Amino acid sequence: MNYWLMKTEPTTYGIDDLVKQGTTPWEGVRNYQARNFMRDEMKIGDKVLFYHSNATPPGIVGLAEVCKESYPDYFAWDPDSKYFDPKSPKDNPRWMMVDVKFVEKFKDIISLDDLRTYPELSDMVVLKKGSRLSIQPVTKAQYNFITSQRIIKEE
DNA sequence: GCCAACGTTGGC
DNA sequence: GCCAACGTTGGC
């Protein structure tokens, strides 16, 4: 079992979109390191911290889970998609993705500023300066600590 | 294979 | 909107 943090811009695809859809392909990752995590390491049932970047404030807004293991990012084949990439042809796909499913939405965001206040999280990749990786490994301890801090949304 | 130029990410 | 950090591209 592995633990991850996955970034998304809420104006593009936020936690509320995942609430509505239930599951989604994680398309559009165009970074080799992030792709390798999806292709080589993400397994069904892996736990995901759902992170809003370019948001006010940025932070972790909920939980998700890997529900389909890696397969070609077919958005790369669609000339009308903003993720179209002619260097990723069908017979030799360069980009892979997984599907994730909604698990829960926090009542309150755990903001980036909040995360910084916990010594338990000082080694988190997302807190490192200049950390742009959109899919990051998280330790079990970090994951457990964060989930112990959260308040689950009451509907 | 080096590295300058360029493009993107993402907090602020 | 700025800009630091970082990844990618392409000329050589």
Q: How far apart are CA A12 and CA A129, in angstroms?
A: 24
Residue with tokens 């165009």: A30
What integer pLDDT is reported at residue A103 of this predicted model?
Answer: 97
> Which of residues 47-66 of A have CB within 7 Å of strand C?
none
pLDDT digits (tens, 9 = 90+) for A31-43: 999 999 999 999 9
Nucleotide nearest to A130 (CA to C1'): C5
* Residue A23 CB lies within 7 Å of the nucleic strand C: no
Residue A65 pLDDT > 90, yes or no?
yes
Residue A59 pLDDT > 90, yes or no?
yes
Show which positions of strand C are touched by protein (CB under 7 A).
4-9
Nucleotide nearest to A31 (CA to C1'): C7
Q: In whole numbers, what is the pLDDT of chain A averaged over residues?
A: 94
Give A58 CA → B1 C1' in Å.
Answer: 39
* Residue A33 CB lies within 7 Å of the nucleic strand C: yes
3-state secondary structure of A97: strand
pLDDT digits (tens, 9 = 90+) for A120-137: 999 999 999 888 999 999
pLDDT interval class at A154 (50, 70, 90): low
What integer pLDDT is reported at residue A150 of this predicted model?
Answer: 87
Helices (H) and strands (E) in chain A, counts: 5, 6
Q: How far is CA A21 from CA A16, A88, A114, in A?
A: 9, 27, 28
pLDDT interval class at A80 (50, 70, 90): confident
End-to-end CA distance of chain A: give it in Å, rounded.
29
Residue A155 pLDDT > 60, yes or no?
no
* Residue A32 CB lies within 7 Å of the nucleic strand C: yes
* Residue A131 CB lies within 7 Å of the nucleic strand C: yes
Residue A101 pLDDT > 60, yes or no?
yes
Show which positions of strand B are touched by protein (CB under 7 A).
8-12
Q: How far is CA A16 from CA A21, A38, A58, A107, in A?
A: 9, 23, 15, 12
Read off the pTM: 0.94
